Amino acid sequence: MELTETEERLRAIDLEFAPAVTRFDAANAFAGRVAVLPSAFNPPTIAHLHMLERALEMDGVTLAAAMLSTRNVAKGVVGASLADRVGMLLAAREEAGWLAVLAVNAARLVDQAAALTTAFPHADFDFVVGFDTLVRLFDRVYYDAMERELEPFFARHRVIAANRGEAGIERVREFVEAEAGPFGSRIVALEIDERPASLSSTAAREAVTAGIEPGDVPAAVLAYIKRRRLYEAPLSR
């Protein structure tokens, strides 16, 4: 079966040995400081957009981007296809015209950063993360030599860490103080509103599978899910 343009571009970066990124919403290169939220977006929720909107308020940030991670250190690809996840992000952009849409073939933030700086050398990037991702950033299991790999990452990039779920903003700050060491000054704690902080893509998927219309995804994303019949329960035989 012939691949769509989105599928071809995703396949192209997947075949790259080195970390690589591609942009779907526009062809032009980034300039300035960009807040990037790497996630699986399965599906994108209003929490994702809220985090990026809040990141746009941070000092120096001029642009915001959702970046689909085609490889993930904590989970495989289940649910919607990668191409459909890009499609949902582009649908979200119908409501949030400021949103840039990227995909990267790397799982770790340090490798994602390498891909971004290679592709867009005239831009600076801040990484927007939830608490779980912040914890993984300092998990030695993902590194050969953690401090040595994190040093150049934090020399160029900031991390904007948001409260999510049961991990309130004080828990975020406590973790940074206890675990970030010399890199703590490069991590900004971002408190997001209680409702988006409680939302998850898993809950949205489960609602659709149960035949319930989720209220935690943008309207354009919900329309895309319905049109493509994503996350529906399999037909019984």
pTM over 0.75: yes
Backbone Cα Rg of the chain: 17
Task: Of 58, 180, 178, 74, give the one whose Cα is nearest residue 127.
Answer: 58
Contacts of 211 (CB under 8 A, 6+ apart): 233
Task: Of 19, 54, 13, give the one whose Cα is nearest residue 35.
Answer: 54
Could you tell me which residues are beta bridge partners of residue 102?
A: 23, 67
Domain 5-228 has CATH 3.40.50.300: no
Task: Of 96, 90, 12, 82, give the one whose Cα is nearest residue 40.
Answer: 82
DSSP 8-state assignment for residue 165: T
Residues of the chain with pLDDT under 70: 1-2, 73-77, 235-237
For the chain, the maximum distance between any two Cα atoms, rounded to a whole number of angstroms, is 58
pLDDT digits (tens, 9 = 90+) for 100-110: 999 999 999 99
> What pLDDT is recorded for position 166?
86
pLDDT digits (tens, 9 = 90+) for 162-184: 998 889 999 999 999 999 999 99
Alpha helices in the chain (DSSP H): 5-14, 46-55, 82-95, 109-119, 131-137, 146-156, 169-179, 194-198, 201-209, 219-228
> What pLDDT is recorded for position 58?
92
C-alpha–C-alpha distance, residues 16 and 107, integer Å: 14
Helix/strand/coil percentages in the chain, nearest 5: 45, 20, 35
Phi first, then psi: what are they for 125, rounded to 5°? -130, 130
Task: Of 116, 181, 106, 110, give the one whose Cα is nearest residue 152.
Answer: 110
- At residue 127, what is the residue type? F
> What pLDDT is recorded for position 77?
66
Parse the chain into domains and list their residue ranges: 5-228
